[in-house]
Structure 1
Amino acid sequence: MSEEVLLAECDGVLEVTINRPEQRNAMTKVAAAGIAAAMDRLESADHLRCAILTGAGGSFCAGMDLKGFLNGELPVDERGGFGGICTWTPGKPIIAAVDGPALAGGFELALACDLIVANKNARFGIPEVKRGLVAAGGGLVQLPRLLPRALAMELALTGEPIGAERALELGLINRVTDGPAVEVARELARAIAANGPLALAASKGIVRDSWLWPIDRINEHQTPYVEHVFTSEDAREGARAFAEKRTPVWKGR
């Protein structure tokens, strides 16, 4: 793992930190590969239940490293896209903990996660048009799905950012905190990690993939996500633990 991406584990949660604070964690090819590798680790390790993605030094990510871009570098992973995560994510949940700027590709990284916690001074935006570029890491696709079209268009065409409180009002993020975002992200992660892993993966998959399911075929599309969950050992353990008034012991099977 590169020093541009730091990993730590605690109680089933993988913390992934972009570690380029002097460059406001601007994304490089090396950092993108590091995040992609961390996502592979999350996916394959049974003891890991979810992840937190954050940035070092009071910034989340200021987008693509423009110096690298001028040298012909694109900070993308072949499978995961920009930052190693924008076109593929693991089945397990990911929380973005945002301090300072989450701009351009940084905003797209946050949107690629499943939940977003932000410090009150965080800023979100896709200012690519100000540099003659396009928010092609998912921002122009995700924002019209998450916001009214007029608001998504304004963010895309003006390139102006919005603050954390406005992002919360619009439903783009989950929490705003006075302190470091990672502290509240850890609270959310603990709440997630306490739940059944098969149920978590199925729930995330349905929420993410059901955008285009026709209403009359929801059960047809949903069944492959859930049928193994209802027949699993974990489902029986969850019911048994509830009846016995104890904490479930999940097996992930």
Structure 2
Amino acid sequence: MTTATEELLQERHGEVIVLTLNRPDARNALTGSLIRSIGEALLAAESDTDTRAIVLTASGDRAFCAGMDLRAFAEGGDVGSGSDPATEAYYRLTRGETPIPVIAAVNGAATGGGLELLLGCDLIIACREARFGLPEAKRGLFPGGGGTNIGTRIPLGAALEMTMTGEFVSAQRGYDLGLVNAVVDATELVATALDYARRVGACAPLSLAACKELVRLAVTDPTKVAERLPHWQSVVFTSQDAIEGATAFMQKRDPLWKGR
């Protein structure tokens, strides 16, 4: 089933929702309305117990996302600076705080805010032609929307090189650095991302939420892990899904997760 707005396409594949940025003529650059559309889709997915994972991709073969729409910015247009729930949901995604697993399928160049959007995703699948860059320093700026966090995904020296030269890295280089989880032919991109999404989504929702938060915190704020670990131990290990997981294992069947 496919639904669409002008700037964002949505398609359901069983328990996986595919969100497609749909501004190929503008290199899928981010406008305020596109940011809100993404946020609204995230909020809907979070409230739908039948949705276990999200695949985020884009139209065309030139760019995944060129970041902020500079034309709209220069003309004083809406570039997503509001505080409404949808906009806040989008920025939660960029911080990696969306509770549902998000797998990116990168169909082309991810630049500036486009790469910052990817850093909020849990797994990144890229076609061989994809490129990644944070060119802000070349424009008298810096990656102020979370791009400086790239050192949480790749080695420090490589993170400094990318941010201080503003130069792009290839999909293969991204894979070698650990930014990208898999590099595939463009014709296999979405199918591969869907396969990852289904395998991730087959795990218990509470377990996935715990893993997302604690693994990220272990990199960004290790001291906070000690604060959050007891919470997740209490929530997950006493959940109905924990009992279901053990029962299904003993009965040699697939578990039926409830998310509680």
Q: TM-score, normalised by structure 2?
A: 0.89
* Aligned counterpart in structure 2 of residue 195 of structure 1, from 188, 198, 203: 203
Query: What runs of 5+ residues in structure 1 fail to find an aligned partner?
Result: none
Structure-1 separation of matches of 2:244 and 2:49:
17
User: How far apart are the structure 2 equivalents of 1:37 and 1:203?
Assistant: 24
| One-letter amino acid matched to 1:31 | L
For residues 206 and 150 of structure 2, the distance between their equivalents in structure 1, rounded to whole angstroms, comes to 29
Distance 1:86 1:219, change over 3 A: closer
Q: Give deviations 1:174-218, integer Å, cap 9, x for gaps.
A: 11001342221000001011111111111112112333123xx75
- Residue 174 to residue 251, structure 1, CA distance change in 2 (3 Å): same
Pairing 1:175–2:182 present? yes
Is 1:115 the counterpart of 2:119 in the alignment?
Answer: no
Match of 2:45 in 1: 42
CA distance in 2, matches of 1:54, 1:153: 27
Match of 1:227 in 2: 234
**What's the CA shift for 1:134?**
2.3
- 33-42 or 126-135: which moved more? 126-135
1:62/1:70 Cα in 2 relative to 1: closer, same or farther (>3 Å)?
Answer: same
Whether contact under 8 Å (2:16, 2:52) holds in the other structure is yes
Query: Runs of 4 or more off by more than 6 Å in structure 1?
Result: 81-84
Q: Pairwise CA RMSD of aligned residues?
A: 2.0
Give the Å deviation of 1:62: 1.3
Paired residues of 2:42 and 2:90 also in contact (CA < 8 A): no
The residue correspondences of 1:77-116 to structure 2 (distance < 5 A) are: 78=83, 80=88, 85-87=93-95, 89-116=97-124
Matched, 1:55 2:88: no
Compared CA separation, residues 168 and 43, structure 1 to 2 (3 A): same
Q: Name the structure 1 match of 2:215.
A: 207
Unaligned runs of 5+ in 2: none
Q: Distance in 1 between matches of 2:127 and 2:96?
A: 26
CA 1:114–1:126: 2 relative to 1, 3 Å:
same
Change (3 A) 1:203 1:83: closer
Q: Which residue of 2 aligns with 1:67?
A: 71
The corresponding residue for 2:143 is 135
Task: Work out the CA distance in 1 between the residues paired with 2:233 and 2:57.
Answer: 31
Identity %: 42
Aligned residues: 250
Correspondence 1:12-27 to 2 at 5 A: 12-27=15-30
- 1:31 and 1:143 mapped to 2: Cα distance? 24
Give 1:67's aligned amino acid: R
Q: Distance in 2 between matches of 1:175 and 1:106?
A: 18
